[in-house]
Amino acid sequence: MSNENPTRQAGPGPYADPANPALPQSDFRLERSKAALVVVDPQNDFLSPSGVSWPFFGESIIENNTVEHIGQLFEAAKAVDLVVAVSPHYYYPVDHHWHFGGPLEKVMHGINMFGRKGPTTLEDFEGSGADFLEVYKPYILDGKTIIASPHKVYGPETNDLALQLRKQGVSQVILAGMAANLCIESHLRELIEQGFEVVVVRDATAGPRVPEGDGYLAAIINYRFLAHALWTTAETIEHLKG
Nearest-angstrom CA–CA distance, 175 and 204: 9
> What is the pTM for the complete model shown?
0.94
pLDDT of residue 13: 86
- Name beta bridge partners: 176: 39
DSSP notation for 75-143: HHHHHTT-EEEEE-B-B-GGGGG-S---HHHHHHHHTTTTB-S-TT--TTTTTSTTSBPGGGHHHHTSS
**For the chain, which domains are there?**
32-241 (3.40.50.850)
Nearest-angstrom CA–CA distance, 6 and 240: 13
pLDDT band at 12 (very low <50, low <70, confident <90, very high): low
pLDDT per residue as tens digits for the range 197-233: 999 999 999 999 999 999 999 999 999 999 999 999 9
pLDDT of residue 232: 97
**What is the average pLDDT value for the chain, to the nearest integer?**
94
Residues 223-226: contacts with CB within 8 Å, 24+ apart?
Answer: 223/185, 223/188, 224/7, 224/17, 224/21, 224/23, 225/23, 226/185, 226/188, 226/189, 226/192
pLDDT per residue as tens digits for the range 61-108: 999 999 999 999 999 999 999 999 999 999 999 999 999 999 989 999
- How many residues are given for the chain? 242
CB-based burial label for 191 (10 Å; 0-12, 13-18, 19+):
buried
pLDDT band at 137 (very low <50, low <70, confident <90, very high): very high
